[in-house]
Amino acid sequence: MRGYRTGLRFFWTVLLSAGFTVGAHAQEVGPASGSLVIVGGGLRDEEIIERFLQLAGGPDAPIVVIPTAGSSERYDQYWPGLRQFREAGATQLTVLHTRDRDEANSDAFVAPLREARGVWFGGGRQWRLADSYLKTKVHEELRALLERGGVIGGTSAGATIQGSYLVRGDTRTNTIMMGDHEEGLAFLRNVAIDQHLLKRNRQFDLIEVIEAHSDLLGIGVDENTAIVVRGDMFEVIGQSYVAIYDHSRQLGPGGQFYLLASGDRYNLRTRQAYRLTMSVEPFERIKQEPWPER
């Protein structure tokens, strides 16, 4: 089995290096450079952190961890959320946190981001990240990190903030899908990201968002699972599933979402899913047919 997976991984590496993801097209959804690691919460799979560190350049790469989505007012270098990175061998970890937008706009605050090869957003409430960093120098430096080939990752709230449309962004409760905060950091354009998908029985929640905003692509990520985005292509890794919500496609008659498993690929530009075999085959049963009107 290991040899088979190695062969498949080599096959996909050849395809990607040949331009299978977007050919001569510019990236339309994902970042033109760099990578994203978007985790659905409950992060226990060592492969996910290891992949993040690998994309950053290895365990000795400078990593900035941003825990601002959490409920505490202060975080320091003793924050327990660093443990997973240390156990994976990371040696250069910096915690960066503020709730003051003036501070987020200061050169002194963003200095660690200018040296970083990777940035990680922790879990909590995604609106706190938007309040603190959206359209600040922090936001600018995060884009610059991607442009120089770095990686941005995050789990739970740190996953949702990476989309352009912010679901569960209401300050009153996380059960409101379209609330008082609707703008994310937009590392993925025209995308809404939900998390804890199957673990918390949220698999139907993105439907109302996509029905209200039919141009958006909805991506739901279960716990202990991630998508790794490079350009307009992502790969699913981890232990569970990723759901795709695309108003222009159905799974058979009436299916408003479908699931991708570990190893599956998805083209964000063409909105085509692929399953790893020794040939490239589109997903069966997915029809290019709009959802019915209610």
- What's the pLDDT tens digit per position in 169-215? 999 999 999 999 999 999 999 999 999 999 999 999 999 999 999 99
Domains of the chain: 28-254+269-287 (3.40.50.880)
Predicted confidence at residue 24, as pLDDT, reads 41
CA 275 to the chain's CA centroid: 20
Q: 């609330």: which residue's tokens? A: 179
Q: Which long-range contacts (CB under 8 A, 24 or more apart) does 93-100 make?
A: 93/63, 93/65, 94/62, 94/63, 94/64, 94/65, 95/64, 95/65, 95/66, 95/67, 96/64, 96/65, 96/66, 97/66, 97/67, 97/68, 98/68, 98/132, 99/68, 99/73, 99/128, 99/131, 99/132, 100/132
Percentage of the chain modeled with pLDDT above 90: 82
CA dihedral defined by 289, 235, 126, 188, rounded to 10 degrees?
-60
pTM for the model: 0.89
What pLDDT digit, counting tens, does each position of 58-81 carry?
999 999 999 999 999 999 999 999
Q: In sequence order, which residues have a C-beta less than 8 Å from that of residue 177 and are 6 or more positions away?
A: 167, 168, 205, 206, 208, 209
